[in-house]
Structure 1
Amino acid sequence: MTVWALGINHTTAPLDLRGRFAFALDQLQPTLLSLRDAMSHRSASASQAPEATLLSTCNRTEIYLSSATPDVDMTLDWMARTGGVSPSLLRSHSYSLHGDGAARHAFRVASGLDSMVLGEPQILGQMKSAVRAAEEAGALGTTLHQLFQRSFAVAKEVRTSTEIGSHSISMAAAAVRLASQLFEDLARTKVLFIGAGEMIELAATHFAAKKPAHIAIANRTLERGEKLATHFGAEALKLADLPARLHEFDIIISCTASSLPIIGLGAVERALKARRHHPIFMVDLAVPRDIEPEVQALEDVYLYTVDDLATAVQTAQANRQAAVAQAEAIIDTGVQGFMSWMNQRGTVPLIQQLHSQADAWRAQELARARKMLARGDSVDEVLEALSRGITQKMLHGTMAELHTGDALQRERTAQTVSKLFLRKER
């Protein structure tokens, strides 16, 4: 078995291309089943669908697979069709990794070393959700289970043994900091959050700490929006109410799983007119976008996407590099352990066959010994026959090999036999 990964992320693909390959959590299972079905029909044995896990976040979409042989081209073609782009376009923005390279990448992603925000903790939870989805879809086998369990363990060690986490600034914290640069006093602002997921909850937590004058949460499912609004003492809105209420808010943070923009250019233009061109600070954390890109060109609108926030989360370079070096050393050890496990797996069938054969020989000789005892042979005779019979069975194949083949082959066999049977007891 081998492992490989294919993906795009914030360093290789622009935001709009990443948006084509963004999958909500409830889409992971059917998407994985589609991939495995396509690959099993491509393989010689239709029943041998590869193990697969799909990780999809704002910053990346990655497919991790394990099978007897990698088929990166087929996986890329399937991914391109799924996203509605040409394979050549996707290939120019994607990366593929194999063996220890794929393992190292998974460990770095889990540890927050490959994130837009160094050391950010959200990715670990997203990876765990992706693994659960793969398990529920029946796509997670022994190899990928080991890969991800080891990646989680490495991530935990990195977080507890290094200062990676202390040098990270979350997207939410960065948004608060940028908003503070536009508005002198956030306590006098009105903030609207669109969505009710983990990222919005995190952003709301950061902004709520600044005690804004009013907080509202708009969500497609009103019940879920009301639940989050209650937590922050906020107002719950329906998405349908947004066009009429948009002008009331100074700060708008959006992160939904919608495949189409929630806020259009026209709605923002009308809001600005009603506000008499008082500025609006907007953050679009969604992939694909929740806010139409054309809004960026409007005067009095300060719109940031997840990619725009990248420069706002940089921290002291020297401290970061020291923490990264420590984390990479931990990851190196983790990769070595995983690859050692992978290599040992190749001998497992042989070990199982040896145990099975030895048990069969033992059973045969025990049956023979019981017959000898039943007919009245002495215990010493039975024990002698039992030990001789097992020894002969164990050595029969070895002796036959030592007498066959040419001189060079016999010499190699003799060296192997010496290592196996003539080692001195320590």
Structure 2
Amino acid sequence: MSVWALGLNHTTAPLDLRGRFAFALDQIAPTLQSLRSSFAPGHHPQVEAAIISTCNRTEIYCASEHIALDHTFGWLAQSGGVAPALLRSHAYTLHNDEAARHAFRVASGLDSMVLGEAQILGQMKDAVRAAETAGALGSTLNQLFQRSFAVAKEVRTATEIGAHSISMAAAAVRLAGQLFEDLRSTRVLFVGAGEMIDLAATHFAAKEPKSIAIANRTLERGEKLASRFGGEAMRLADLPSRLAEFDIIVSCTASTLPIIGLGAVERALKARKHRPMFMVDLAVPRDIEPEVKALEDIYLYTVDDLAQVVQQGQANRQAAVAQAEVIIDAGVQSFMHWLGQRGTVPLIQQLNAQADEWRAAEMTRARKLLAKGEPVEAVLEAMSRGLTQKMMHGAMAELHAGDAASREQTAQTISRLFLRKER
């Protein structure tokens, strides 16, 4: 069995390209079905697959008897509507121990924009549950991810890799504090009601802004989140007409197209008499049209723009990285040992089936002899002799076949298998 992975992330691809390969959680199941059915007819049920899609990365993990990196690569390029050459220039491909090491590093927060951040672990667990629900996860990938989670837990327990990490939400608050003298005088709007917005709202609420509002496509979900922060909820459709009311806008939805356009922001600025607006677009693909950034009095940051802020303090955690890598290396070796043993499973199954067949044949013969009135001791003797002869027949035949060199090699193997002394 082989494992392979391919993907693109915040270090290899620009935001807009990553946006073409972003899959919402409810898209994972049909997307996995599309990937698995793209393999040769009759072959795809044997291909295990999982997709991890976050703001900073999209990665595909697969397992099968044979590595099919080129095919998987072509499928991903087609799904994103880009030329394979363009995707290849921004993507990475990994197989077996490299794929395992990468998965372990991702789960442990070593491959994140924020070194040691914990959110990716929850996102990986969501992706694994989605793959399992879709029936795309087999024993190999299940082992890979469960071991990833175990390694991540050990890394966080045994090292200080997550100490002093600055989340994307905390970075947004820090930047907003540089623009506005007192965040308590600001009105904050959050667009969306997912996990990232929940995190951002928690950080901003700690600064006690004048007001908090949640705009969401589903009003009920928006109201539920807004109630936690003493805020109001509004429909997404009301956003353009109310945009001018807010000093800070943080957006992160699963929309495939921008929901805050240049025209709406221009009208909002005019109504505000060009009082500055701080905007954070945490979505991939973008929620806010990129042209908005060129407007005066607009301070727009994307997930990539926040990179420099979140890297602060990273030097303090570099000492823990070496410790984490040792834990990860041990995890990789253990997984590869398990994967290597999986290759002998079919042979073990065949051996067990053959032994059962021999046993059944000798049991049938023994019952017939007993039915004829043969002595029990004689029947047992005949049955044990029959089983022994069946088991030894192949080895004896091999000892008499081939040239002298092959017979010598066979003799050593048979000695090792059959003449072991009990310790």
TM-score tier (shorter): over 0.9
- C-alpha displacement of 1:378: 3.4
- Deviation string 1:207-256 (CA, Å, 9 cap, x unpaired) is 11111110000001111111111111111111121222111111110000
Q: 2:366 aligns to what?
A: 369
The question of whether the paired residues in 1 share the 8 Å contact of 2:113 and 2:311 is answered with no
Secondary structure of the corresponding residue to residue 188 of structure 2: strand
1:407 paired to 2:366: no
Deviation at 1:46, TM superposition (A): 4.4
**In structure 1, the residue corresponding to 2:87 is in which secondary structure?**
helix
Match among 359, 382, 387 for residue 384 of structure 2: 387
* 1:411 aligned partner, one-letter code: E
Greater CA drift, 223-232 or 358-367: 358-367
Whether the aligned pair in 1 keeps the contact of 2:362 and 2:386 (CA below 8 Å) is yes
In the alignment of these two chains, the number of paired residues is 423
Partner of 1:294: 291
Matched, 1:212 2:217: no
Is the partner of 1:216 in helix, strand or coil? strand
For residues 67-117 of structure 1, give each alpha carbon's deviation from its aligned partner in whole angstroms, at most 9, with x where no partner exists: 222222222222112111111111111110011101111111111111111
Q: CA deviation at 1:39?
A: 1.6
Cα shift at 1:366: 2.8
Give the aligned partner of residue 355 of structure 1.
Answer: 352
Deviates further, 377-386 or 53-62: 377-386
1:134 aligns with 2:131: yes
Please say if residues 366 and 383 of structure 2, whose CA atoms lie closer than 8 Å, have aligned partners that are also in contact. yes
Matched residue, 1:323: 320
Report 1:85-104 matches (<5 A). 85-104=82-101
What SS class does the counterpart of residue 163 from structure 2 fall into?
helix
Q: Choose which of 265, 272, 287 in structure 1 pairs with 2:262.
A: 265
* 1:291-343 CA distance string (max 9 Å, x none): 11111111211111000111111243443112111111111111111111111
Contact map agreement 1:172 1:202 (CA 8 A) in 2:
yes
Q: 1:239 is matched with which residue?
A: 236
Per the alignment, residue 84 of structure 1 pairs with 81
The Cα shift of 1:382 comes to 3.0
State the Cα distance separating 1:416 from its structure 2 match.
0.2
Which 10-residue stretch deviates more, 170-179 or 313-322? Answer: 313-322
CA displacement, residues 117-139 of structure 1 (integer Å, 9 cap, x when unaligned): 11111111111111122122221
For residues 49-68 of structure 1, the aligned pairs below 5 Å read 50-68=47-65
2-side partners of 1:317 and 1:215: how far apart? Answer: 31
Q: 2:119 aligns with which of 103, 119, 122?
A: 122
Root-mean-square deviation over aligned CA pairs = 1.5
Contact 1:107/1:151 (<8 A) preserved? yes
The one of 200, 205, 213 aligned to 1:203: 200
Which shows bigger deviation, 103-112 or 353-362? 353-362
Cα distance between partner residues in 2 of 1:220 and 1:376:
84
Residue 275 of structure 1 deviates from its aligned partner by: 1.7
SS at structure 1 position matched to 2:72: helix
Contact persistence 1:365–1:386 (CA under 8 A): yes
Letter in 1 for 2:116: G
Read off the aligned partner of 1:33 and give its amino acid letter. Answer: Q
TM-score of the superposition, structure 1-length normalised? Answer: 0.96
Of the structure 1 ranges 162-171 and 227-236, higher mean CA displacement relative to structure 2 is found in 162-171
Tell me which moved more, 51-60 or 260-269: 260-269
1:174 maps to which residue? 171
- Kept in 2, the 8 Å contact 1:251–1:280? The answer is yes
Q: Normalization by structure 2: what TM-score?
A: 0.96
- Letter in structure 2 aligned against 1:79: L
Partner of 2:11: 11
Write the distance in 2 (CA, Å) between the matches of 1:290 and 1:316: 29
Contact between 1:167 and 1:315, CA under 8 Å: does it hold in 2?
no
2:69 paired residue number: 72
Q: 1:393 is matched by which residue type in structure 2?
A: K
CA deviation after TM superposition for structure 1 residue 386, in Å: 2.6
Deviation of 1:178 after TM superposition, in Å, equals: 1.1
Kindly tell me: are residues 233 and 339 of structure 1, through their superposed partners in 2, closer, same or farther at Cα, counting changes over 3 Å? same
1:325-340 pair list within 5 angstroms: 325-340=322-337
Letter in 1 for 2:335: F
Query: Which segment drifts farther, 361-370 or 276-285?
Result: 361-370
The amino acid across from 2:86 in the alignment is: L
Change (3 A) 1:180 1:53: same
Question: Equivalents in 1 of 2:51, 2:107: separation in Å?
Answer: 14
CA distance in 1, matches of 2:22, 2:149: 23
Q: Aligned residue for 2:27?
A: 27
> How far apart in 2 are the matches of 1:324 and 1:366?
61
1:221 is aligned, of 209, 218, 221, to 218
Separation of aligned partners in 2, 1:425 and 1:138:
45
Cα separation, 1, equivalents of 2:235 and 2:19: 25
**Contact persistence 1:40–1:48 (CA under 8 A):** no
